[in-house]
Structure 1
Amino acid sequence: MSIIQAIIIAIVEGITEYLPISSTGHMIITSSFMGIEKEEFTKLFEVAIQLGAILAVVVLYWRRFFPAKAAGGINWSFYFKLIVGVIPALVLGYLFADKIDELLESPTVVATTLLIGGFVLLFIDKMFNHPTVKTVDQISYPRAFLTGLWQVVAMIPGVSRSAASIIGGMQQKMTRNIAAEFSFFLAVPTMAAATLYSLFLKKWNQGGVTQKGYELILASKENTIAFIVGNVVAFVVAILAIRFFIDFLKKYGFKAFGWYRIIAGAVLLVMIYKGVIA
């Protein structure tokens, strides 16, 4: 993977991570389109650059994560809700890690789930149009858990963690804006856990040599630079994407993202059928 390829993938991650169109799916397709070999570092890189996207949420919503004492001190219930909400993804993600890795190599799975998810987003605004939860503080622990449970569906590439958790939040009577913000907040522990697992616990087999993720990154100057540059790019682009998404969502809802997914999924299936993408 060249530095230019790393930057392109990082831009894709930053744009798509918090939009309901699947960041993993877009990175898989982008890698396939550029002809990047699916080696261990490529798969690690696509997970590790989530650090930049995570930091973007923390920076944009720093008052929520680090409230000033003058504003009433730390709201511990907010953190506990995130813990409750992230439990399903952590447990099932750990149990099915190997199966998820297999799915991460399939553009066909991505194209199919993009299509299905697109049709869901076309009707999501009408399906859940009587919200009662209008602030993050009104989210109960059961609602946080059930919303987090929807994240499990996003382990299938192309589903979109953002879309799944937003739909889960709206199903739990949240307004679409609050559902989107809570989805961002849930992303921080969810993605942090996945990234830290990939860096420090998961064993990667690169060329017959078993290494931890951080060892794989430090194995060469190119890998190290790609990791650093990728996270910086993902951070900057994710900040811009989050701001755009919230403003767009308030005005137009999810239908445009639904049509995008349907068109993208259909085009990808044709490209796969024609052999343009392996």
Structure 2
Amino acid sequence: MNIIQAIILGIVQGLTEFLPISSSGHIELGKALLGIEARKDLTFTVVVHGGTVLSTIVVFRKDIFEIFEDLRERQWNESTQYLAKIFISMIPVVIIGLLFQEEIESFFFGNIFLVGNMLLVTGGMLIFTYFSRDHDQEITFKNAFIVGLAQAFALLPGISRSGSTIATALLLRVKKDVATKFSFLMVLIPIIGANLKDILFGNLTNEGIGFFPLLVGFLAAFFAGLLACSWMVNIVKKGKLIYFAIYCFIVGMTAIYVSLQ
């Protein structure tokens, strides 16, 4: 992987991690278009995910700071309850990730046909949000678990994590801004935990990628993530997810067509 390829994939990761169009699916499509060997390079994946995690922390730094400040009181307050809901939302993805790790990883080997079909599913979920109304609810413990199930489903390449979790929350009538913030904050701990596991257990392999491609990939993902994260908050508020549904349908059908040639 050269520097240009790393920049492109970093930007793709940063944008699509937050926009409801599937980062994993677009990374697979990007590798195919750039002629990069269709394998899951764990080192590069960890690095660019680190960039998007950092961009999330920057955008929601005030909310995160308030949560940790309230935790110091050691009381069952609004912040501790919110953090408990995040942990509840993690249960499905942790269980499925641990039990079916090898099966999930097998999907990340250039299966463009699968990616195309899952993008169609993502588009379908986004269309349903267009018809949802009365978004006046807060995140409850039950809702947190249901949204967590959607996040686990997004382990498949082509299923947008942000799209599926935000769409599920909106269908549960959760307020738009609350749904968006919860969707972005709930993924921090699973991504950080998964990356730390790979680092501590020595699962990373450089596979010929030099330091500079990793660095520019990280920076590209970080700055693209800053833009996309802030943009996505406004998009959900304005109810514009249907445009991304159309995009997912177009890209999904194109991917299916190309895979069958």
> What letter matches 1:121 in structure 2?
L
Match of 1:117 in 2: 122
Is 1:168 equivalent to 2:168 in the alignment? yes
Report the counterpart of residue 112 of structure 2 in structure 1: 107
State how far apart, in whole Å, the 1-side matches of 2:242 and 2:11 are: 24
How far, CA to CA, are the matches of 1:18 and 1:239 in structure 2?
A: 9
Match of 2:86 among 78, 82, 86: 82
1:130 is paired with a residue of what secondary structure? coil
1:250 has 2:232 as partner: no
Please name the residue that 2:177 is paired with. 177
CA RMSD of aligned residues (A): 2.3
C-alpha separation between the residues in 2 aligned to 1:244 and 1:177? 12
Alpha-carbon offset, residue 196 of structure 1: 2.2
| CA distance in structure 1 between the partners assigned to 2:106 and 2:143 by the alignment | 31
8 Å Cα contact 2:71/2:80 also seen in 1: no
Moved more, 243-252 or 28-37: 243-252
User: How many residues of Structure 1 are paired with residues of Structure 2 in the alignment?
Assistant: 255
Q: Which runs of 5+ in 1 are unaligned?
A: 202-210
Give the superposition deviation at 1:101. 0.9
1:123-171 Cα deviation digits (max 9, x unpaired): 3221x312232xxxx4222221221121111011101111111122123
Q: Give TM-score scaled by structure 1 length.
A: 0.84
- Residue 190 of structure 1 and its aligned partner are, at CA, apart by 2.2
In the TM superposition, 1:1-278 aligns within 5 A as 1-39=1-39, 42-67=41-66, 75-105=79-109, 106-126=111-131, 128-133=132-137, 138-201=138-201, 212-213=203-204, 216-217=205-206, 222-274=209-261
Aligned equivalent of 1:206:
none
**Structure 1 residues 211-257: Cα deviation after superposition (integer angstroms, max 9, x where no partner):** 521xx24x76x433332321221111101011112222222431101
> How far did residue 194 of structure 1 move?
2.5
Q: Which amino acid aligns with 1:265?
A: G
